[in-house]
């Protein structure tokens, strides 16, 4: 349930700094000491955050570039750690969102980490699918009304089970009522990214302004419920 982040570094001091910084968060840190294994991990799964030791790991800068190119991690927040060989401007050009220079100063680390982890949490919410069961209304490009049941949802998309078998393609209009004391209807347009006769996966393309806030509020409540039911000791 927690943040899943990759640290690419051979530097025990740097790793220790970030392990301590993450210690108050629900998290899982994937440690890699070589660029090839970091690139392999980033190529097959989504990560909520990347900390890349660009100058002290052979191929560190290339790992940053290659992982940033993957579809799953195009928007993942990246903290680049430098040690004199790479400029901050060059790291930003390569795809880093934040830059730290060695030796790491605790005050600078805290200021960067505070902003970076908030972006990582947002990325986690955007990608993580929460299980949910709600009736959903769809309209295909021809205007046909299609009834479905939600299976899961994230800030970036949702999966639905169709009541009647139908092949969906293209862009559809999505509407559903959010659980609330005061009825609130979610409105969006979404792209069909995969489907079979009874199940469809949608990527949200456009969400009405008033629906953005209520979706984020609902996802936050789903996360709180998931944390409440999470077994003790699980991170």
Q: Tokens standing for 174?
A: 């999505």
**pLDDT grade, residue 123 (50/70/90)?**
confident
State pLDDT tens for residues 166-198. Answer: 888 899 999 999 887 777 899 999 999 888 778
Q: What percent of the chain has pLDDT over 70?
A: 95
Q: How far is CA 92 from CA 41, 64, 87, in A?
A: 22, 10, 9
Domain ranges of the chain: 3-127, 130-229
Q: Is the pTM of this model over 0.85?
A: no
The reported pLDDT for the residue numbered 145 is 94
The domain made up of 130-229 has a fold known as Thrombin, subunit H (2.40.10)
Specify the CATH class of 3-127 in words. Answer: alpha beta
Task: Report the distance separating Cα 113 and Cα 18, nearest Å.
Answer: 9
């Amino acid at each position: 349930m927690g943040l899943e982040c990759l640290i690419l570094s051979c530097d025990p001091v740097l790793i220790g700094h970030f392990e301590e910084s993450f210690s108050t968060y629900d998290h899982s840190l994937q440690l890699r000491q070589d660029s090839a294994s970091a690139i392999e991990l980033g190529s097959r799964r989504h990560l909520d955050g990347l900390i890349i030791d660009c100058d002290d790991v052979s191929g560190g800068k290339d790992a940053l570039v290659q992982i940033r190119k993957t579809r799953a991690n195009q928007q993942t927040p990246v903290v680049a750690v430098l040690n004199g060989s790479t400029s901050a401007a060059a790291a930003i050009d390569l795809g880093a969102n934040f830059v730290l220079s060695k030796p790491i100063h605790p005050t600078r680390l805290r200021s960067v980490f505070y902003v970076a982890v908030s972006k990582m949490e947002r990325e986690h919410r955007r990608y993580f699918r929460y299980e949910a069961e709600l009736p959903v209304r769809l309209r295909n490009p021809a205007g046909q009304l299609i009834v479905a049941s939600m299976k899961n949802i994230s800030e970036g998309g949702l999966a639905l089970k169709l009541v009647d078998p139908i092949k969906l393609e293209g862009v559809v209009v999505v509407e559903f009522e959010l659980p609330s004391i005061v009825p609130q209807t979610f409105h969006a347009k979404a792209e069909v990214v995969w489907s079979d006769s009874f199940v469809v996966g949608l990527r949200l393309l456009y969400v009405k302004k008033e629906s953005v806030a209520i979706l984020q509020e609902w996802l936050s409540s789903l996360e709180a419920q998931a944390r409440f039911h999470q077994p003790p000791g699980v991170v």
